[in-house]
Amino acid sequence: MLARGVTNLSDAYSGRLFTFAGGRDGLWRVVLNRPVSGEPLASVDRLAVLMGDARVEARWLLRGVTSYERYVTADEKRSLLAAQPPIGRPEATCAALIPIRKSAEWWQLPQDARRAVLEESSHHIATGLKYLPAIARRLHHGHDLGEPFDFLTWFEFAPRDRNAFEDLVGALRATEEWQYVEREVDLRLERG
C-alpha cells in the first residue's frame, strides 16, 4: 500500500497553504515588480492567489503556509487581534506581495536572539501595529517547505492608504532585522 501523495492534503492544511501564481491570469494586475535584494522574479502581468497546493500553468509559483506565531507575545497578540482587519475588504483594491529570504546566519540564531533583533531592536511587530486597521496583512512561511523564499507577506489596503504602506515598508527596511534579508522582491498589485 502506498501512502498518500503530497497533493492529497487535509482540509485543515489546504486552508493554511497558499499558492501565489504569477502569469497571465488572476484577480490582481501587477503594477510593480522590483527586486530589492538579490535575484528578481520574472516579469508577469497578473497574479492569482490560490488556496492549497495549486499546480496551475504560470510563469512562477510561490507557496507558503500560514502558521503559529514565532515571536508574538500574549500582549502583542491581543493588540493585533483587536485591530487587524480581514483580508478581502471591498475597498482594499491595492495589494503588495513581498517575498523575502533571510540569510543562513539569521536561521542559526537562537530564538531569544532572533526575537531581540526582530522586536526589541527593530520593532517589527510594533511598526505593523501602527498601521492597523488600514493595512491588512497575512504572513506565509516557506522556509520549512523548501521554497525559494522564507516568507511571503501579503498586504491589502485602500488607495488612500498607499502612502501609509510606503512608510511601513520603508521603516522595516531601515531596521537591523533587514540586514539579515538576502533576497527581497516588491510586487505591487491592483484589483481588476
Q: Can you give the binding site for a copy of itself, defined by CB under 8 A?
A: 1-3, 5-6, 9-10, 12-14, 16-17, 53, 55, 57-61, 65, 67-74, 76-77, 107-115, 141, 143-146
Indicate the residue among 92 and 125 with the shorter CB distance to a copy of itself.
125
**C-beta atoms surrounding 87 within 10 Å:** 14
Sign of the Cα torsion 26, 27, 33, 35 reads negative
Please report, for residues 69, 104, 154, the alpha-carbon distance to residue 24 in angstroms, rounded to integers and kept in the order given: 34, 34, 19
Indicate the residue among 75 and 90 with the shorter CB distance to a copy of itself.
75
- In angstroms, give the least distance from the CB of 65 to a copy of itself: 5
Residue with cell 475597498: 91
Indicate the residue among 72 and 164 with the shorter CB distance to a copy of itself.
72
- Distance, in Å, from the CA atom of 89 to the CA atom of 70, rounded to the nearest integer, reads 26
- Distance, in Å, from the CA atom of 1 to the CA atom of 20, rounded to the nearest integer, reads 33
- In angstroms, give the least distance from the CB of 83 to a copy of itself: 16
Bridge partners for 165 per DSSP: none
- Distance, in Å, from the CA atom of 157 to the CA atom of 90, rounded to the nearest integer, reads 10
Indicate the residue among 81 and 170 with the shorter CB distance to a copy of itself.
81
- In angstroms, give the least distance from the CB of 93 to a copy of itself: 27
Indicate the residue among 110 and 192 with the shorter CB distance to a copy of itself.
110
- In angstroms, give the least distance from the CB of 160 to a copy of itself: 32
- In angstroms, give the least distance from the CB of 31 to a copy of itself: 22
Q: Which amino acid is at 95?
A: A
